[in-house]
Structure 1
Amino acid sequence: MLKDSVYDRVSEIHSEQPWFVLGAARDFLLYHSDIPEISHFYSFEADPYTEQVLAIPDGCVDILFDCDECRPTAKVCGTTLEATNAEFIHNHRYFGVRFAPGLTPDFLQASANELIEHQLNLLDVAPIASIIFEQIIRCSVFADQVAIFEKFYANQCARKSSKLTLFAVNEIFVHKGNIQIQDLAESTGCSTRTIQRQFLADMGMSPKAFSRIIRCQSAVYDLNHSKNVTFADLAFDLGFSDQSHFLREFKKLVSVTPLDYLHRVKQEAYVARLRYF
């Protein structure tokens, strides 16, 4: 049923949190992991002059370490379903691990549904992570923090989903979120009700909600990294019925219109802020 491994597909999905990048005091550090279940690692210092930093839907689970010397913390952050205040503390340095869209590390003692739109204390849901928590918060070098987590995760794995859900996720990736549940039903021979039920059990959200997130992320990536993208072409490529529908949907999930977003990204030199390791 599953033609390609879902882990092969996730490398093609660009998981973006643009307001994190624009809310960094200086450079936003990035490291794309060779571990297929991990999208990337990131690190930044929160800008004292940015009043609010938003998290947008990305379908990912993040583990976020606040490396403050006095009160360090670590949170497990499930994906949001709309733009939400990320609650960063000014001048604090953060180290983050973003898992690939749709994947959940199995060492977390929390269901997929418990993670959606929630932030949980890492040590409450993963006591096994206490050792790396101490090591990471005491470390000030991004590359060393990455190495600490990768060594820990070498003995871990992603939570297993059903073959039906894996197929659905793969198809959503392939179509950049532009797919209907009826199409999944025709491809699998399963009823829409069965697909809905199994997907919700494995992912904590409906196929429609996950498709919406992936379609939004595809739009954000193109706006961030394409020089000559037009809203009309983008709306067409992502299967929106018309440009106005795309504009409304984008604003719901990202909090601003595509035009406002594009102006902000260019003004703040978004790509220039990124530092790859």
Structure 2
Amino acid sequence: MNSIHKEFSIANIRSKQPWFVFCSAGEYSVKVSSVPFISHFYSFEAQASVDVINAIPDGCIDILFDCDSSKPTAIVCGTTLEAQSVDFINQHRYFGVRMSPASIPSFLDISASELVNQRPNFNETTHKISDLFEKIVSETSFTNQVNIFSDFLIKFGIRNHSSLTQQVIAHIFHSKGNVQIQNLESLTGYTSRTIQRQFINDTGITPKAFCRIVRCQFALYNINLNTEIKQSDIAYNLGFNDQSHFSREFKSLLNTTPNSYINHLKNNTYLEKIRFH
């Protein structure tokens, strides 16, 4: 894949976890899903040389399989509201499924709110699973793992959000997270109290928290594809009052400053590691 096509594909993966790429020992395999409620699949072998690995806010649920042959495991990674450390095991191969933002698989026996900032065991929070876990962890082919999980998830689908929440989510993405609650009241015709109650019931988080996550992710898109971009331009494009406001928000959610993150990108082969299937 040439660099233009690769950058276009990366930009269209709405939710990113850059530290997962940083910690991969070799290539970081990605398969963009044709299923609307799945963002993408990914797989990599972890290396021990990365000091800190963070899972950052992305508004998504990940189902992450550790495919170690001696002791395989799987967890459901609920969306986080701030950077949280992740302990990948050196030389273990991981297979992950990243749902689209705010999408929750219907086979999970846990509420949206209970998933926020949590990482429960996959087998303890699911029903109608049959032998999915065994099929995934025993399969060595990334493509076959993608097909196995896709077939399973298509069968059961995701939880239906209210039309109100769907409308709010679409507007937040269209506005790149730069949304005020008053805008949502005018848009939907509902009070802020109703919007917030329904949004939390459907997604587990508030509209404000979701806006922060979306703005953070859009900032990452810009930086990941152009480390020379001016922070003032990012701040302006995403509706921040000024560059310092953007920097504070970035550090609050990612636990690092924009400058530190850019330096980390420059010192790592981020784009070179990603391979699309």
- Partner letter of residue 61 of structure 2? V
Aligned-residue offset at 1:129: 2.3
Distance in structure 1 (CA, Å) of the matches to 2:36 and 2:226: 25
Deviation of 1:259 after TM superposition, in Å, equals 1.2
Structure 2 residue 134 is matched with structure 1 residue 134: yes
Partner of 2:213: helix, strand, or coil?
Answer: helix
Instruction: Provide Cα deviations, 1:149-174, integer angstroms capped at 9, x if missing partner.
Output: 11112212111111111111110010
User: Cα–Cα, structure 1 residues 74 and 156, in superposed 2: closer, same or farther, change >3 Å?
Assistant: same
What code does the residue aligned with 1:68 have? D
TM-score for both structures, normalised by structure 1: 0.94
Percentage identity across aligned positions? 48
Whole-Å separation in 2 of the counterparts to 1:91 and 1:163: 44
- C-alpha distance in structure 1 between counterparts of 2:272 and 2:13, whole Å: 21
For normalisation by structure 2, the TM-score amounts to 0.94
Are the aligned partners of 1:250 and 1:258 in contact in 2 as well (CA < 8 Å)? yes
Shift of the alpha carbon at 1:228?
4.2
* Structure-to-structure mapping, 1:43-54, within 5 angstroms: 43-54=43-54
2: distance between equivalents of 1:128 and 1:21? 32
Question: How do 1:176-215 residues align onto structure 2 when only pairs under 5 Å count?
Answer: 176-215=176-215
- The residue aligned with 1:7 is none
Hey, what does 1:163 align to over in structure 2?
A: 163
Which blocks of at least 5 consecutive residues in structure 2 are unaligned? 1-10
**Correspondence for 1:264:** 264
Aligned pair 1:91/2:91, yes or no?
yes
- Once residues 96 and 113 of structure 1 are traced to their aligned partners in structure 2, the CA distance between those partners, rounded to angstroms, is 22
For residues 241-267 of structure 1, give each alpha carbon's deviation from its aligned partner in whole angstroms, at most 9, with x where no partner exists.
110000011011112111111111121
Q: Distance in 1 between matches of 2:167 and 2:137?
A: 38
Equivalent pair of 2:31/2:40 in contact (CA under 8 Å): yes
- Deviations along 1:55-105, one digit per CA (max 9) or x if unpaired, are 000000000000011111111110111110112112211000000011111
Letter of the structure 1 residue corresponding to residue 177 of structure 2: G
Q: 1:51: how far off?
A: 3.1
Tell me, in whole angstroms, the C-alpha distance in 1 between the residues paired with 2:155 and 2:261: 40
Kindly indicate whether the alpha-carbon contact (under 8 Å) linking 1:122 and 1:129 is maintained by their aligned counterparts in 2.
Answer: no
Q: Which residue of 1 aligns with 2:6?
A: none
Letter of the aligned partner of 1:119 in structure 2? R
- Cα deviation, 1:212-263, whole Å, max 9, x if unaligned, reads 0010000011100135421000000000011000001101111211111111
**C-alpha displacement at 1:128, in angstroms?**
2.1
Q: Give SS of 2:148's match.
A: helix
Q: Which runs of 4+ in 1 moved over 4 A?
A: none
Aligned to 1:62: 62
How far apart, in 2, do the equivalents of 1:147 and 1:12 lie?
Answer: 21
CA–CA distance in 1 between the matches of 2:97 and 2:201? Answer: 24
CA 1:76/1:104 → structure 2, altered by over 3 Å: closer, same or farther? same
